[in-house]
Amino acid sequence: MNKLLFEKSKILIVDDQQANIDLLEGFLEMEGYQNILSTSDPRTVLNLYESFAPDLILLDLAMPYLTGFKVMELLKQIVSADNYLPILVLSANITPEAKQRALAEGASDFLSKPFDLIEVGLRIRNLLSAKSMHQQLQNQNVILEDKVKERTAELELIAIDLLAAKERAESGDRLKTAFLQTISHEIRTPMNGILGFASLLASPDLTEGERAEYLELMKISLDRLVGTITDYVNISLIYTDNLQIQSQQVRLVHLLTDLESKFRKECDKKGLKLELQLPDHIFEFLLETDSELLRTVISHLIANAIKFTNKGFITFGFEILPSVIKIYVRDTGIGLGQESQQMIFEKFMQIDGSTTRNYEGSGLGLSICQGILKFLGSGIHIESDPDKGSVFSFTLPAKEYTDPEL
Amino acid sequence: MLNSNLKNAKILIVDDHLVNIDLLTGYLQMQGFDNIESTTDPLLAIGLFKSYEPDLILLDLMMPLLSGYDVLDQLRPLVSPDVYLPVLVLTADISPNAKQRALASGAKDFLIKPFDFIEVLLRIRNMLETRYLYQQLEKKNKILEEKVAMLIKIMSGWNK
pTM of the model: 0.52
pLDDT at A298: 94
Cα–Cα distances in angstroms (integers) from residue A381 to residues A208, A288, A375, A384, in the given order: 49, 21, 16, 10
Taking CA–CA distances from A147, the nearest residue in chain B reads B148
B87 at the A interface (CB within 8 A)? no
Q: CA of B136: which chain A residue's CA is closest? A: A137
Give yes or no for a cis peptide into A397 (omega within 30° of 0). Answer: no
Instruction: Give the nearest partner residue to B99 out of A118, A130, A147, using CB atoms.
Output: A118
Give the pLDDT confidence score for residue A353 in this predicted structure: 47
Q: What is the pLDDT of residue B158?
A: 61
> What's the pLDDT band for A180 if we cut at 50, 70, 90?
confident
Give pLDDT tens digits for B106-148: 899 989 888 888 889 999 999 998 899 888 888 888 887 887 7
CB distance A285 to A249 below 8 Å: no
Q: pLDDT-derived band of residue A357, with 50, 70 and 90 as boundaries?
A: very low
- Least confident piece of the model among A98-107, A156-165, A353-362, B140-149: A353-362
Q: Is the Cβ pair A110, B127 closer than 8 Å?
A: no
Angle of CA points A10, A16, A19, to nearest 5°? 85
Task: Give mean pLDDT, residues A257-275.
Answer: 91
- Could B155 and A126 be called an inter-chain contact, meaning their C-beta atoms sit closer than 8 Å? no
Q: How close B134 gets to chain A, by Cα (Å)?
A: 6
Touching check for A143 and chain B: CB below 8 Å?
A: yes
A25 touches chain B (CB under 8 A): no
Contacts of residue A141, defined as CB under 8 A and 6 or more positions apart, other chains included, come to none
pLDDT for residue B157: 67
Cβ distance of B130 and A129 shorter than 8 Å: yes
Nearest Cβ partner of A126 from B130, B133, B148? B130
The Cα of B52 is separated from the nearest Cα of chain A by a number of Å equal to 24
A36 C-beta neighbours (distance < 10 Å), count: 18
Secondary structure tally for chain B: helices H, strands E: 6, 5
Looking at the complex, does the CB of residue A116 fall below 8 Å from at least one CB of chain B?
Answer: yes
Residue A45 has pLDDT above 90, yes or no: yes
CA of A78 vs chain B CAs: smallest distance (Å): 22
Contact at CB, B144 and A118, closer than 8 angstroms: no
pLDDT band of A1, cuts 50, 70, 90:
very low
pLDDT at A361: 60
pLDDT single digits (tens) B16-71? 999 999 999 999 999 999 999 999 999 999 999 999 999 999 999 989 889 999 99
Q: Topology of B4-135 in CATH?
A: Rossmann fold (3.40.50)
Does A141 have pLDDT greater than 80?
no
The predicted-structure confidence for A363-404, as pLDDT tens digits, reads as follows 678 888 888 898 888 888 988 888 788 999 999 988 655 554
User: Prior bond to A114 cis, omega within 30?
Assistant: yes
* Length of chain A in terms of residues written: 406
**ipTM metric:** 0.74
CB atoms within 10 A of CB A16: 16
Chain A residue closest to B123 (CA)? A109
Give the model's pLDDT for residue A356. Answer: 46
Run of H or E residues at A251: strand A247-251
Q: Could B140 and A130 be called an inter-chain contact, meaning their C-beta atoms sit closer than 8 Å?
A: no
List the domains of chain A with CATH numbers: 3-115 (3.40.50.2300), 157-227 (1.10.287), 247-397 (3.30.565.10)
Separation of alpha carbons A307 and A30, rounded Å: 92
Q: Give the closest-approach CA distance of A346 to chain B in angstroms.
A: 24
Is B119 touching A (CB cutoff 8 A)?
yes
Nearest to A137 among B110, B123, B137 (CB): B137
- B110 interfaces chain A, CB cutoff of 8 Å: yes
User: Whats the size of chain B, residue-wise?
Assistant: 160
Work out the number of other CB atoms within 10 angstroms of the CB of residue A275: 12
Map out the domains of chain B as residue ranges: 4-135
Q: Give residue A352's pLDDT.
A: 43
Residue range B60-108, pLDDT digits in tens: 998 988 999 999 999 999 998 888 899 999 988 778 888 888 888 889 9
Q: Provide the mean pLDDT of chain A.
A: 84
Structure-model confidence comparison of residues A100 and B74, the more confident one: B74
How far apart CA A52 and CA A161 sit, in angstroms, is 49
* Amino acid symbol at A279: P
pLDDT of residue A403: 52
Comparing A181 with A260, which gets the higher pLDDT?
Answer: A260
Restricting to A residues 274-303, those with a Cβ less than 8 Å away from any Cβ of B are none
Average pLDDT over residues A312-340: 88
DSSP assignment of A253-285, as one string?
Answer: HHHHHHHHHHHHHHHHHHT-EEEEE--TT-S--
A152 touches B at CB < 8 Å:
no
Distance separating alpha carbons of residues B42 and B65, to the nearest angstrom = 8
Q: How far apart are CA A221 and CA A228, in angstroms?
A: 10
